[in-house]
Each structure stands twice: as structure tokens, then as C-alpha cells.
Amino acid sequence: MTQALEAAIASAAKLPPQEQDALAALLVAEMESEERWGELFSHSQGLLAELAQQALLEHAAGKTQPLPELE
């Protein structure tokens, strides 16, 4: 465990039990969310490559237009 995490846990340990439980729930939810996003992205690489290839082919065929200049 890193020193930063140890310090955060030590600080959280000083909170009332109800606040500790709320913080724990937030932390678990965040970790689960990150895991789900990682899984979704790992399964989408083939589709993203296919879409990129399609966009390149459309551009080469002259089917695209430049974006307007940003002000």
C-alpha cells in the first residue's frame, strides 16, 4: 500500500462510522466503474479500428468536408 493511501485511510478512520461507510461505498463504486470502462474499451478496439478504416476510405474517396475554423 502506498503512503498516500495509508494516509487517506488513517484520515478516513477518524470519521464517524456512518461517514466511513459512505466513503467506502463511494470508493468501491468508483473502482467498479473503472473496471467496467476498462472492460468496455478492451472489447471495442476492433470496432474502433473498423470505424477508423471506414473514415479513412471515405476521406480518400472525397466524401468528407473540412471542419469549419474555430474562433
Domain range for residue 22? 18-59
pLDDT tier at 64, thresholds 50, 70, 90: very high
User: Which pTM does this prediction carry?
Assistant: 0.54
Judge whether 47 lies within some domain. Answer: yes
Quote the CA–CA distance of 8 and 26 in Å, as a whole number: 14
Domain count, the chain: 1
Residue 44 lies in a domain: yes
Q: Which residues contact 9 (CB under 8 A, 6 or more apart)?
A: 1
Q: What's the confidence (pLDDT) of residue 38?
A: 84
* Angstrom distance (rounded) from CA 24 to CA 14: 13
pLDDT in tens, 39-60: 888 888 888 899 999 999 999 9
Cβ–Cβ < 8 Å for 30, 24? no
Residue 3 lies in a domain: no
